[in-house]
Amino acid sequence: SGTIPVITIDGPSASGKGTVAQIVARRLAYHYLDSGALYRLVALVAIRSNTDCANESAITNLALHLDVNFDGSSVRLNGEDVSDALRSEQCSKLASIIAGQSAVRAALLQRQRAFRQSPGLVTDGRDMGSAVFPDASLKIFLTASAEERARRRYKQLIEKGINANMQSILQDIYERDTRDSNRDISPLRQEVDAKLLDTTFLSIEDAVNEVLRLHNAVCKN
């Protein structure tokens, strides 16, 4: 068909979605969208502007007026590199809280769909295959055990020289999994047409190759 291919990679926190999606995008020379960054950006702007996160219309207004630029692996907000600020625990938590607001999700919808450009797109998040690109050419549900995901996040933080506590990371993962899976709108779950990829015992390279293999199989049809 004449539509531009999209590979969606949805799954819980620290399962490796972003890492795998970026490598797959590079291998295919496709565009890449980190949809979680958009929710984190809204959270960051809310924190900085002291906006009450329960004020849905105010938060939606922030989402509609985000001035954001993705270049390579860095994210710019009004020209400022906020890549590190977006990864803070406060931002992660607030992102998942505002992500439960339907008007906020609606405000980010067109912005996400605009990333579907030739020759193709690889994108990761929670609802990319279910709500944003329901007609995606390949849908992956990437997961790993909560303990393994906590170990990965812990290692990531320690390597960056950031103090981390395994118990509180695991606690945060459970909390965010629960909130993301139980919300009314666009909850995190495996779609019937999504392929399950459990990476608990899989290397990044193996996960990337499996996504590429599935993509090639779809392209031949």
Q: Residue numbers of the site for ligand CDP (CB under 6 A)? A: 13-19, 35-36, 39-40, 92, 95-96, 99, 125-128, 152, 156, 176, 180, 199, 202-204, 207
CB 221 to ligand CDP: min, Å: 27
19 is in an annotated binding site: yes
Looking at the Cβ atoms of 48 and 155, the one nearer to ligand CDP is: 155
Looking at the Cβ atoms of 33 and 220, the one nearer to ligand CDP is: 33
CB 31 to ligand CDP: min, Å: 16
120 is in an annotated binding site: no
79 is in an annotated binding site: no
* Residue 36 identity (one-letter amino acid): G
18 is in an annotated binding site: yes
96 is in an annotated binding site: no
Give the whole-angstrom CA distance, residue 221 versus residue 202. 27
Give the whole-angstrom CA distance, residue 37 versus residue 87. 9
CB 198 to ligand CDP: min, Å: 10
Looking at the Cβ atoms of 5 and 18, the one nearer to ligand CDP is: 18
16 is in an annotated binding site: yes
Give the pairing of strands 31-34 and 80-81.
unpaired
For residue 132, the 8-state DSSP code is: I
* Residue 196 identity (one-letter amino acid): L
CB 16 to ligand CDP: min, Å: 3
Residue 124: strand pairing partners: 9, 34
Residue nearest ligand CDP (C-beta atom): 36
Give the whole-angstrom CA distance, residue 151 versus residue 166. 7
Please provide residue 43's backbone torsions phi and psi, each rounded to the nearest 5 degrees. Answer: -60, -45
CB 57 to ligand CDP: min, Å: 19
Please provide residue 124's backbone torsions phi and psi, each rounded to the nearest 5 degrees. Answer: -130, 155
Looking at the Cβ atoms of 61 and 179, the one nearer to ligand CDP is: 179
- First-to-last C-alpha distance (Å) of the chain: 10
CA 24 to centroid of chain Cα atoms: 15
Residue 71: strand pairing partners: 74
Looking at the Cβ atoms of 183 and 215, the one nearer to ligand CDP is: 183
